[in-house]
Structure 1
Amino acid sequence: MMDHVPLSGGTPKGPADRLCEELQSLKSSSGLTYARISERTHYAKSSWERWVNGKQFPPRDAVERIAAVCQADERRLLELWTLAEACRTPAAAPGAAPGAAGCGGAPGEGDAASPDRRQTVLLLLTVLALALTAGLARSVALRRELRRDTLSGGGV
């Protein structure tokens, strides 16, 4: 699949940009207002405004619903959504990183921050595991203490 290149000759647009363009095109060609799209898809009109204008990434279900409402090619839109999601969240696509092939941006973009991000996540997970372990140990100790008090008759 070929990336679309902006008329300005800049870097190729990524799938999220192309998805945004498709949503804008669907809205325009349908003649529907955000309020009408909201009524027909059961998503807030403010959410549609953010998704169509590229301020926020839409959920898959919203893309499915707007395709149905606008009688668009759902398969094509969902393929674009899946590719954009994979580029947006590298953890969802093993081996893919921001700036990976097909994701737009310069090759290797974001690669330098990747090890730092992994270290931060590992550190946070370690702290969380230690906190949970400490909480569990304290819970077990309190339960033993309560059991001793109950068995010795010094309970509540």
Structure 2
Amino acid sequence: MPDAAARERALKEAEQACLRRGAQLTPLRRQVLDLVLQSEAPVGAYALLDRLKADRPGAAPPTVYRALDFLLEHGLIHKVERLNAFIGCADAGHGHAHDHGHPHQFLICGTCGATAEIADHAVSHAIESAARRAGFVLAVATVEIEGKCARCAAA
């Protein structure tokens, strides 16, 4: 979990990125993003809803899903499909949007659930190349790799 100062910097960068795109990081969207950033592992929508209800008792699932859709669209978070959960984008605010303007892969610890985003261009190029050879036109490629994080592997 990033410390409060790092999260605040990330939130300010996210706000600036949204403004550059003509979008607004509303207080609710900002709060949902902060909750995602606070999580040590990818967090599900209903866990976010439970945390959000502490400050917004009337919050309902559509509230969270709309905020998550916005954050995804603007490249501020990623969805880890295998876990049906969300993680802050390690490269948020650097000009890409939901079109995944940067390569990303996720390393998921099967023991503790910790998830790290990496951006290995060689992996992305290999996938694109293999898809092209198969006559496949690639739109989006998200690679999710399960194993053990360094901490769990050392234990």
Bigger-Rg structure (1/2):
1
More strand by share: 2
TM-score (norm 1): 0.30
Q: Which has the higher helix share?
A: 1
TM-score normalised by the chain length of structure 2: 0.30
